[in-house]
Amino acid sequence: MKKLINSTDTILEESLDGLAAAHADLLQLGPERKFVRRRELKPGKVALISGGGSGHEPLHAGFVGLGMLDAACPGQVFTSPTPDQMIEAAEAVDTGAGVLFIVKNYEGDVMNFTMAAEMAGREVASVVTNDDVAVEKSTYTTGRRGVAGTLIVEKMVGAAAETGMSLAALKALGDEVNRRTRSMGVALLPCTVPAAGRPNFTLPDNEMEMGVGIHGEPGRRRVPLASADAIAAELVEAILKDLEPSKGSEVVLLVNGFGATPLIELYLMVNAAKRILDRAGITATRFLTGSYVTSLDMAGVSITVSVLDSNATRLWDAPVQTAALRWGI
């Protein structure tokens, strides 16, 4: 295993210290590094909190700031944060309008965020994302996994929260954005969890895992390596079959790398996915390309499609200033 680490026991703490130092204008660490919080809070605004296992950076801490999250709770690598982290984060960033948890549908995350909501002693609502069309049930979940579509929910709900929208309205919006969003991914190479020191699954050079999860969970099937066009076709067609957007729909197209996929390949996949959408009568009017919801050093890609209307487009275009996303400022 070759990684830029000092110790597998301190990798998360040292990384969080670096994040806080590099983006001190936007965020700060909570006590004992239990959460990352927005440095400047907006009084009277609903506080948005998310989190999950580390190893998916920049999700979630990289999306703390203006127009997105007020706090993020990082667990150890591929391990859910604990309820006390969410409770302390809520206490730190709730300015009186309540708290909205945005939770990926993994059993540990859902259980711990639910416990935190019950114990927080304040008004809390939750949105659970489940955008992955690959499988209905996996190693970590009951029901569909929450993957890169979580970013789209955080962006749109975050923009709405900045306008002063109520907690109930934000939950309804988050649920609606989640319903309009679908994702699917493919792995070319596995990832290596530092504490394990070896790849978390095996994948021969001539095969790929179609529908892989962001922790390396099995997908739909293992198949021979195919061309980029063929991979894009399977991913996008599965998304469109499930999402069923009407012809003429406008969408956000998110092409997301898993951590070891170069941009030259990701933009090639943008081109391939866009051509498939065009043939289906679907127009991608907004794009986001890069490694935003990663799986440590996994090689592969996920594609996310989210249907837009005028309100969703306005929310997507709204200003955002975080460590990982910045526009309109």
Q: Is the pLDDT of residue 137 over 80?
A: no
Place of tokens 């962006």: 155
216 and 231 in a single domain? The answer is yes
Per-residue model confidence as pLDDT tens digits over 70-120:
999 999 999 999 999 999 999 999 999 999 999 999 999 999 999 999 999
The CATH number for 84's domain is 3.40.50.10440
Q: What pLDDT is stored for residue 266 in this prediction? A: 98
Q: Is the peptide bond before 23 cis (omega within 30 degrees of 0)?
A: no
* 245 vs 236: CA distance, rounded Å: 12
169 and 276 in a single domain? The answer is no
Classify residue 320: in a domain, yes or no: no
261 and 148 in a single domain? The answer is no
Task: Report percent pLDDT > 90 for the chain.
Answer: 91
Q: What pLDDT is stored for residue 134 in this prediction? A: 94
Q: Which of 179, 195, 214 is the last residue of a domain?
A: 179
Q: Token pair for residue 161?
A: 């929260």
Q: What pLDDT is stored for residue 328 in this prediction? A: 95
147 and 32 in a single domain? The answer is yes
Q: What pLDDT is stored for residue 142 in this prediction? A: 76
| Strand 65-66, strand 320-322: pairing | antiparallel
Q: What pLDDT is stored for residue 140 in this prediction? A: 66
* Backbone φ and ψ of 319, nearest 5°: -60, 145
Q: Give the gyration radius of the chain's Cα atoms.
A: 19
Distances from the Cα of 313 to the Cα of 17, 95, 114, 159, 176, angstroms: 35, 28, 31, 11, 14
Q: Is 54 helix (H, G, I), strand (E, B) or coil?
A: strand
**Is 215 one of the catalytic residues?**
yes
Q: Which of 160, 179, 198 is the last residue of a domain?
A: 179
Per-residue model confidence as pLDDT tens digits over 250-283:
999 999 999 999 999 999 999 999 999 999 999 9
Q: Which of 179, 206, 233 is the last residue of a domain?
A: 179
* 53 vs 265: CA distance, rounded Å: 26
173 and 70 in a single domain? The answer is yes
Classify residue 321: in a domain, yes or no: no
Give how many domains the chain has, as a whole number. 2
Q: Is the pLDDT of residue 202 over 90?
A: no
Amino acid 70 reads D
110 and 239 in a single domain? The answer is no
111 and 142 in a single domain? The answer is yes
Classify residue 317: in a domain, yes or no: no
**Is 56 one of the catalytic residues?**
yes
The CATH number for 287's domain is 3.30.1180.20
Q: Is the pLDDT of residue 205 over 70?
A: yes
Classify residue 315: in a domain, yes or no: no
Q: Is the pLDDT of residue 136 over 70?
A: yes
214 and 151 in a single domain? The answer is no
> If you average pLDDT over every residue of the chain, what do you get?
96
Classify residue 145: in a domain, yes or no: yes
Q: Which of 45, 144, 215, 274 is catalytic?
A: 215
Q: Is the pLDDT of residue 1 over 90?
A: no
159 and 226 in a single domain? The answer is no
Classify residue 83: in a domain, yes or no: yes
Q: Which of 323, 321, 324 is nearest to 159 (CA)?
A: 321
160 and 42 in a single domain? The answer is yes
* Domain enclosing residue 284, as ranges: 181-309
65 and 158 in a single domain? The answer is yes
Q: Which of 56, 60, 145, 182 is catalytic?
A: 56
Classify residue 33: in a domain, yes or no: yes
Q: pTM for this structure?
A: 0.97
CA 240 to chain centroid, in Å, comes to: 20
243 and 265 in a single domain? The answer is yes
Q: Is the pLDDT of residue 161 over 80?
A: yes
Q: What pLDDT is stored for residue 135 in this prediction? A: 85
Task: Report percent pLDDT > 70 for the chain.
Answer: 99
Classify residue 326: in a domain, yes or no: no
Q: What pLDDT is stored for residue 307 in this prediction? A: 98
Q: Which of 256, 260, 253 is nearest to 293 (CA)?
A: 256
Per-residue model confidence as pLDDT tens digits over 2-53:
999 999 999 999 999 999 999 999 999 999 999 999 999 999 999 999 999 9
Q: Is the pLDDT of residue 312 over 70?
A: yes
